[in-house]
């Protein structure tokens, strides 16, 4: 019954998925179907994340072939330090400068699998380098932060720019600090999990002007589809939970998110 109710009201609203990996191999067999299903569900604002230069080129080609239904972000993932060489970096900069690229990402810090202090320091330098590139190109950037929230905040605060932390992993107190400096926070399927800890508190108490929705598809699938491959058409479940936690209507929540997304791209 709940799915029926969701299906009814999604068609009257415009939804945002600020972070998903359409070019991931999990979508190789039905990429066009997944995209169309999202559009049919009212997910009209889509940001496709690419993690290397070749993937970025494929995303541009796919987008153009289908009428440019989504935005594209290009980034060097924090663990891919071997790509931080002169040749790869120059090609990356050239791609990011193209009008087809709307944002830099995902970039940031990944400490969960990296304990070596030297490698972490190299991640910090690459992170800062990409933030400076985003500022030079006047494009926003999207951040990955895992087990590194304080260092993430310190670097973003020091370098500024228009930043968004995707799958925000921090506490409400930390969320408020990010908001204080004008940084946006995106929340995905974890918000719907029964064992979710920080995410509901963050959504309920953060500055709503900096809240955005995402799926991180094909990962982090929301309830009631948890355990299956995630996709952008599931965004309404996440937004519905956001509205419930904020005590506002779904229409108000979607309208607020749309305004936030516009501000993320236009406010300096």
CATH assignment of the domain containing 247: 3.20.20.140
Q: Using the 8-state DSSP alphabet, how is residue 82 labeled?
A: G
Residuewise pLDDT in 10s, the chain (268 residues):
233 334 434 456 899 999 999 999 999 999 999 999 999 999 999 999 999 999 999 999 999 999 999 999 999 999 999 999 999 999 999 999 999 999 999 999 999 999 999 999 999 999 999 999 999 999 999 999 999 999 999 999 999 999 999 999 999 999 999 999 999 999 999 999 999 989 999 999 999 999 999 999 999 999 999 999 999 999 999 999 999 999 999 999 999 999 999 999 997 6
- The domain tally of the chain equals 1
Token pair in block for residue 117 = 């202090």
pTM for this prediction? 0.94
- Output phi, psi for 49, to 5 deg: -95, 135
Q: In this predicted model, what pLDDT tens digit does every residue of 60-96 receive, in sequence order?
A: 999 999 999 999 999 999 999 999 999 999 999 999 9
Residues with Cβ within 8 Å of 195's Cβ and at least 6 positions away in sequence, in order, are none
What's the full length of the chain, in residues?
Answer: 268
Domain of 223, in residue numbers = 2-266
DSSP E strand boundaries for the chain: 15-20, 43-50, 71-74, 103-110, 141-146, 163-165, 184-187, 211-213
Q: In this predicted model, what pLDDT tens digit does every residue of 210-250 receive, in sequence order?
A: 999 999 999 999 999 999 999 999 999 999 999 999 999 99
């Amino acid at each position: 019954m709940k799915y029926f109710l969701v299906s009814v009201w999604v068609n009257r609203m415009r939804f945002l998925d600020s972070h998903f990996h359409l070019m991931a191999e999990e979508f190789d067999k039905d990429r066009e179907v997944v995209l169309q299903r999202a559009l049919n569900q009212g997910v009209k604002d889509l940001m496709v994340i690419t993690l290397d230069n070749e993937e970025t080129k494929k995303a541009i080609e796919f987008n153009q072939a289908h009428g440019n239904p989504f935005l594209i972000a290009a980034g060097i993932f924090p663990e891919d330090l071997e790509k931080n060489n002169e040749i790869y970096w120059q090609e990356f900069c050239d791609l990011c400068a193209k009008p087809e690229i709307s944002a830099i990402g995902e970039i940031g810090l990944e400490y969960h699998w990296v304990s070596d202090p030297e490698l972490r320091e190299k991640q910090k330098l690459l992170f800062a380098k990409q933030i400076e590139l985003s500022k030079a190109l006047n494009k926003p950037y999207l951040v990955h932060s895992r087990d590194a929230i304080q260092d993430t905040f310190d670097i973003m605060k020091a370098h500024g720019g228009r930043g968004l932390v995707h799958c925000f992993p921090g506490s409400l107190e930390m969320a408020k600090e990010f908001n204080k400096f004008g940084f946006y926070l995106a929340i995905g399927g974890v918000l719907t999990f029964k064992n979710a800890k920080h995410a509901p508190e963050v959504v309920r108490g953060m500055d709503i002007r900096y809240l955005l929705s995402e799926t991180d598809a094909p990962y982090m699938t929301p309830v009631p589809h948890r355990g299956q491959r995630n996709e952008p058409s599931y965004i309404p479940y996440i937004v519905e939970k956001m509205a419930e936690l904020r005590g506002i209507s779904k229409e108000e929540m979607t309208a607020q998110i749309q305004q936030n997304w516009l501000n993320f791209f236009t406010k300096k």
